[in-house]
Structure 1
Amino acid sequence: MRPAAFRDIAHVGSVELFTSVPEETRDFFVDLMAMKEVHREGDSIYVHAWDDYERHTVKITGRDRAGVGRTFLRAASPEALRRRVAAIEEAGLGTGWSEAEFGLGPAYLFADPDGHEMGLYYETERYVATEEHRPSLKNQASAFPGRGANVRRLDHVNFLASDVPAASAFMSGTLGARATEQIVTDEGETAAIWYSVSDKSYDLVYTSDWLGARGRLHHVALATDTREDILRAADVFLEAGVHIETGPHKHAIQQTFFLYVWEPGGNRIELCNAGARLILAPDWEVITWTQAERAKGQAWGLKTIESFHTHGTPVID
């Protein structure tokens, strides 16, 4: 069932990653993922995926340890922005407006109940390709890179949460996202839940943090055009000495073809391709997966490896 405020958020705009080795993380995204560096400011490096219409896709910020910074969400209209800001303020989780974000107009800053920092905006600066990167087709943002992983856009962000039900209530009740799939334990507790703000099958995910910590990251996912891009990327990462955690394979939940690697700072990055799978039904019913079903592994039988349940950033000893 769609929340009343569904469609007030258009999509996930960009995400900030913390890393103790920002130059190495930058090289990972630029050299291996085929993204472009577009800006530097203070301790941050901004990179852009080739068909992202906005000014940047990932903000890389130097910190003493890895983790997720602020995730930005674009509102569908100025009116939608005002409605969601009012709802966030009513929830008591807003921190105020900022006009200091690169490539964005006024952005309302807030945090979810688990402490993940977020920002909501409408006005944005569109990416304009340089002559070197001008596309042959005028309906794409930049020239097709034809190298590395060829990531096209940001797909989703998966947060770890100490209290998944609280984060879930905020996502649906305050932001107006709709749940599409979930994992429920034998005790009836929601262990993970996938949310969509569009026709995509999911945009934001909350997974239970096995350490009970707050504000951590499970992974950031970037979308490729094809499965073949992911298969080639596995060889690219192999030759570059990048840690391949699991995959390539196909998820049972959401049916996403995937590859998980760790960028040099330690954050988990997913390359994903969901094909043409969209959620078009206005009365979609949430798909629930049990513990027994999840224990079977991924769609083609690959077992979920231990680190997928134990690694999150920042790392906690």
Structure 2
Amino acid sequence: MSNFDVAQLAHVELYTPKPEETLKFFTQFLGLQETTREGQSVYLRAYEDFYHHTLKITEAKEAGMAHSAWRASSEAALYQRVQALEKSGYGKGWIEGDIGHGQAYKFQTPDGHNMEILWDVDYYQAPEDQKTMLKSRPQKRPNVGIPARRLDHINLMCSDVTKNKQFMADQLGFKLRENIVMNDGTEIGAWMSVSPLVHEVALMGDQSGQKGRFHHIAYWYGYPQHLMDVADLLVENDIQIEAGPGKHGVSQAYFMYVFEPGGNRVELFGDAGYLIFDPDWKPITWKEEELEKGIIWYGSQLPEEYFLYGTPHKAPVKG
């Protein structure tokens, strides 16, 4: 298997029971751009996302992640990954595509998170009034809200972090960058990527005993000051800030966690943390006694709900 068969996180589809409020959150406060609508779904992107969309919002009875999509590094790489996924037993089959991309192969993680892998994508074409002279950017910087720049990563809650980590490594070529291991040997967190980013996917243990829940989607700003700016905007508009701004030890990223009105958690990244260029990178392991600084390097501690709440939100499974 090539370690380069998967190139990046392409898009995420979120369910929301409050579609209009969720749409307002992402467009009016985070400055995401609407590219199109179809049925019960709206397609959005940040202003430095080059694809047709990176976020699809779909009306549903309860919040959660409908699916995440990974772009292969080539058409040949797509078919190579599909062969491996079919052999793994986690493959679900092909779909013809969706607005913004061609055919895609659907699969699930061992925990049941829905994913797909694809190659053909549509690139965003800015209308005349949104074209920019900055040729490395697909459109002008929006003049609404505090605009996020690009999709960064997702965080998935898992009943078994190690099993799902091995799946992402063995079937998709993800590399482990950092993890947390308790004194009894249980792995409760793993940060993985296919690029120099510290992570495009994070896996965290679900203490509720459930499987397949969603923890958060993250959009990137690039400047920590923007977290302060958007915090002001959100507080004044009654959007709940769960934690932050602060800095993680793991990933070194400046963060803020908020809840969009539909109930999904959204992380706003104030910078990229650090980047990994070393081809012989050794994963960093945080031990139980180092956990406090690993989770919060500085800033207020995360509330208990951070480790318990995911979407869809249901009562914990009793042992």
TM-score normalised by length of structure 2: 0.96
Partner of 2:301: 303
Post-superposition offset of 1:146: 4.2
Q: Distance in 1 between matches of 2:209 and 2:158?
A: 7
Q: Distance in 2 between matches of 1:75 and 1:21?
A: 32
Partner of 1:177: 174
CA contact under 8 A between 2:47 and 2:138: conserved in structure 1? yes
RMSD between superposed Cα atoms in Å: 1.2
Which structure 2 segments of 5+ residues have no match?
Answer: none
Identity %: 39
Partner of 1:166: 163
CA contact under 8 A between 1:20 and 1:66: conserved in structure 2? yes
Post-superposition offset of 1:189: 0.9
Post-superposition offset of 1:93: 1.0
Secondary structure of the residue aligned to 2:135 is: coil
The structure 1 residue matched to 2:22, chosen from 22, 25, 39, is 25
Partner of 1:57: 54
CA contact under 8 A between 2:130 and 2:139: conserved in structure 1? yes
Which structure 1 segments of 5+ residues have no match?
Answer: none
Is 1:150 matched up with 2:147?
Answer: yes
CA contact under 8 A between 1:5 and 1:175: conserved in structure 2? no
Cα deviation code 1:212-240 (max 9, x no counterpart): 21111111000012111111011011111
Q: Distance in 1 between matches of 2:146 and 2:80?
A: 38
Counterpart of 2:311 in structure 1: which amino acid? Answer: T
Change in CA separation of 1:192 and 1:286 when aligned onto 2, cut-off 3 Å: same
Partner of 2:247: 250
Change in CA separation of 1:28 and 1:239 when aligned onto 2, cut-off 3 Å: same
Correspondences of 1:76-91 after superposition (within 5 Å): 76-91=73-88
Is 1:206 matched up with 2:203?
Answer: yes
Correspondences of 1:1-317 after superposition (within 5 Å): 4-275=1-272, 277-296=274-293, 298-300=296-298, 302-317=300-315
TM-score normalised by length of structure 1: 0.96
Post-superposition offset of 1:301: 5.1
Equivalenced residues, count: 314
Change in CA separation of 1:22 and 1:301 when aligned onto 2, cut-off 3 Å: closer
Post-superposition offset of 1:302: 2.8
CA contact under 8 A between 2:246 and 2:299: conserved in structure 1? no
Secondary structure of the residue aligned to 1:172 is: helix
